[in-house]
Amino acid sequence: MSISVRRLSYGIGAEVLGVDLRRPLPGEDIATIRRAWVDNGILLLRDQNITPEQHIAFSARFGKLDDHSALFKYRHPQHPEIFIVSTKPNADGSPSDTRETGVNWHSDLSYTLRPAMGSLLYCREIPDVGGDTQFANMFLAYQTLSEGMKKMIEPLQAVHDYAWAIHDTEKGRDSAKAEAHKKVNPPVKQPMVRVHPETGRKALYVSEGITTHIAGMNHDESRAILSYLFEHSVRPENTYRHHWRPQDLILWDNRSVMHKALRDRVPGTHRHMHRTTVLGEPSGELYKA
Ligand code: SIN
């Protein structure tokens, strides 16, 4: 069966049909998928009845995989390449630490000097209602800015700090946890406009969940500009919202896409996902306040 690609929405995304990931794909199919992935930002592959090994093998066709050492507690016990995002309680009954993972807009690993190229999220369990993920096209976000705004932000860098994202809806800000994370992941400066290494296209590269401020500006100036950019980049026409089905696999390109796990879970229902992360090109520098 040959591969075909159909768009998912105006703003972003496509579905790939004619692929069965239980068998290794020929190199030309991988090249077709990579092209469609870069062009559409996210790709949806439905009905993939795959094991963790097959998920890892497919992901590794796109580059070196992260072993998730920055967030080592949440790795799959047998497969460090798999990061588990789950709302299911731990074996001792305590709440899962990843039940709120990714609930604010972000691009994976933007808070490191080697941000992720791509992420491949596989749905193992999902309730009938809720557990959705939203995606935003950051090429489109950049393109639809005025020429004046583009010119102003293009030479600037913004600070990305994982500790900023440590927040729990019930407990509020967890500063002890944030400090511990800061030791492993100190804040970095990233370009506000990132040039996509495979296409040369420009994408806006700031996110509400991880970007704290613009380097070299005072707090009020920085907040005003960033608030505008955050709101602008997630306008509905720029986004796609996915309601998962079990065995869906979604690939997103972190160099041109932001995403957010919605807080739309019906109490008492659960969601269980496996994510692999393909490492990208080095970007940014350490931030010294
Ligand atoms: C993530 O941010 O990597 C997870 C997104 C999701 O669970 O929908």
- Reported as a single tens digit per residue, the pLDDT across 189-204 is 999 999 999 999 999 9
Q: Can you list the residues of the chain whose pLDDT is less than 50? A: none
**Closest ligand 1 atom to Cα of 273:** 7
Question: Can you point out the beta strands (E) in 8-52?
Answer: 14-17, 42-45
Q: What are phi and psi of 17, to 5 degrees?
A: -115, 155
130-146: b or e for each residue (b if 16 or more CB lie within 10 Å)?
bbbbbbbbbbbbbeebe
Residue-averaged pLDDT of the chain:
94
User: What is the share, in percent, of the chain residues with pLDDT greater than 90?
Assistant: 82
**Closest ligand 1 atom to Cα of 85:** 7
Burial class (CB in 10 A: 0-12, 13-18, 19+), 219: exposed
Q: Atom 8, ligand 1: which residue's CA is nearest?
A: 261
Q: Atom 7, ligand 1: which residue's CA is nearest?
A: 261
Q: Atom 2, ligand 1: which residue's CA is nearest?
A: 102
Residue ranges of the alpha helices (H) in 171-247? 175-184, 219-233
The residues annotated as belonging to the active site are 106, 108, 259, 275
Pick from 11, 209, 190, 192: nearest CA to 105: 209
Pick the CATH number of 4-286 from 3.60.130.10, 3.40.50.300, 2.60.40.420, 3.50.50.60: 3.60.130.10
Alpha-carbon distance of 177 to 128, in angstroms, equals 33
Ligand 1 center to residue 157 CA distance, Å? Answer: 25
Ligand 1 center to residue 4 CA distance, Å? Answer: 26
